[in-house]
Amino acid sequence: MKFSALSLAITVSAIVATHPASAQSQRPSRTKAVEQCMMLAHNNAPKPTDAADPAQNVAVNMYRSCMKKYGYRP
């Protein structure tokens, strides 16, 4: 019984140790995420006509939500 409990503990600790590493590798690097989010906001947001245009906020909001989706602060 002691041997099976020890092997179970080793197996569980190995799974827990590899799980965060695999989850971490699935998200892009911060530089890549910034590039992707800026491109998304640039291509999809309406182009502002002047400095007071509220459409400027749309691009910023798109960028922020994209960065949050990747798990980074904007």
Tens-digit pLDDT profile for residues 24-36: 568 889 999 999 9
> What is the number of domains present in the chain?
1
Q: Identify the domain containing residue 44 by its residue range.
A: 2-70
Tens-digit pLDDT profile for residues 36-55: 999 999 899 887 777 777 76
Burial 2-40 (b: 16+ CB within 10 A, else e): eeeeeeeeeeeeeeeeeeeeeeeeeeeeeeebbeebeee
pTM beyond 0.85: no
